[in-house]
Structures are given as C-alpha cells and as structure tokens.
C-alpha cells in the first residue's frame, strides 16, 4: 500500500505544478491586425525639445461580439510612418485582467526628420465583461497603462 501512495502523490504534485504554470501563461488574443491610424495630429522637427499632448486611450465595448475597440490617442511615431497605411504593427497578449499592447513602426518605413502624434485604433476579440488594465508599449521608454471597466 505504501508503494502506491508515493506514485499517486507524485502524480498529484505534477498536476498541481502544471496547473500553476498554465495559470500565469500569457494568452495571444484573437486580434484584428488591421490597425488604422490617423494622419499627423501635430509634428515637430527632431531638434525641437518637448512634446505635445499626453497619451490617453479610449475603448468601446461590443458585448454581443465580445469586441473591444481601442483607440490610443497621441501615439508618437516618425512622420514618415504617419503617412503610410499599415505603418504601425500592433500585437496584444492577455494575462488575466491585464492586456499588454505592443505598437511599433513597421521596419522599412520611410523616415522623416520629424515626429508626430497619431491616433491608433484596433479591435481585440474574446474579451469578457470586467475591469482590465491596458498597458501600451511603444517607442516611449516606459509603458503607459490605463484601466477600464465595461
């Protein structure tokens, strides 16, 4: 009987560890990769110090389709990127109630000697009702985060 307990205990421990690692795993979101962005809202030459409007975000939730429409206001990009359709790559990962959003200029974009603010928008799917923190990663040194309840 003692020999049966040890393998059973070991099996239970392996199952518990597997579940623990699975719970903390990031989930790739069902995501609309056709991000759209505005033309330059404001721009400045690279030699100019200071920058314009602070970043903000807004969301619209469609409960029927579990779709979250996200707009990142005043995302700073190179002016060459701002004039291009599809010039910004967006990806997203979800870990519980936190959604990490990565927004970067596509490689090979034409570069200009200026930066500008754009509004970048995209859709995330399979998002249930709740309170979420959206963390935006871009060319800024520190990510920016905003919390929303819907």
- Residue 64 gets the label, from left (phi > 0), alpha (psi -120 to 50) or beta, of alpha
Average of per-residue pLDDT values in the chain: 76
Query: DSSP assignment, residue 55?
Result: P
* 148 pLDDT more than 90: yes
Tell me which of 4 and 99 has the higher pLDDT.
Answer: 99
Q: Characterize the bridge pairing of strands 27-28 and 98-105.
A: unpaired
Per-residue pLDDT at 107: 75
Greater pLDDT, 41 or 131: 131
pLDDT per residue over 72-117, tens digit each?
A: 998 988 888 876 777 888 999 999 999 999 998 887 777 888 888 8
User: What is the rounded distance in angstroms from the CA atom of residue 127 to the CA atom of residue 7?
Assistant: 40
pLDDT reported for residue 52? 59
User: For residue 97, which of 137, 138, 33, 148 has the smallest C-alpha distance?
Assistant: 148
Residue with tokens 């030459």: 45
Question: Is the entire prediction scored with pTM above 0.85?
Answer: no
Give the pLDDT confidence score for residue 34 in this predicted structure.
Answer: 59
Higher pLDDT, 136 or 19: 136
Summarised one tens digit per residue, pLDDT across range 132-141 is 999 999 877 7
């Amino acid at each position: 009987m003692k020999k049966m307990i040890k393998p059973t205990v070991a099996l239970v421990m392996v199952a518990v560890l597997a579940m623990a690692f699975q719970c903390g795993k990031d989930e790739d979101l069902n995501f609309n990769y056709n991000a759209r962005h505005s033309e330059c809202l404001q721009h400045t030459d690279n030699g100019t110090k200071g920058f314009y409007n602070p970043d903000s975000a807004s969301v619209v939730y469609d409960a029927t389709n579990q779709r979250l429409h996200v707009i990142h206001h005043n995302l700073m990009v190179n002016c060459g990127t701002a004039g291009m359709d599809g010039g910004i790559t967006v990806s997203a990962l979800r870990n519980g109630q936190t959604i990490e959003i990565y927004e970067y200029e596509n490689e090979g974009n034409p570069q200009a000697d200026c930066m500008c603010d754009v509004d970048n928008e995209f859709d995330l799917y399979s998002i249930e009702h709740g309170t979420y923190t959206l963390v935006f990663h871009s060319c800024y040194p520190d990510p920016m985060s905003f919390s929303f309840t819907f």
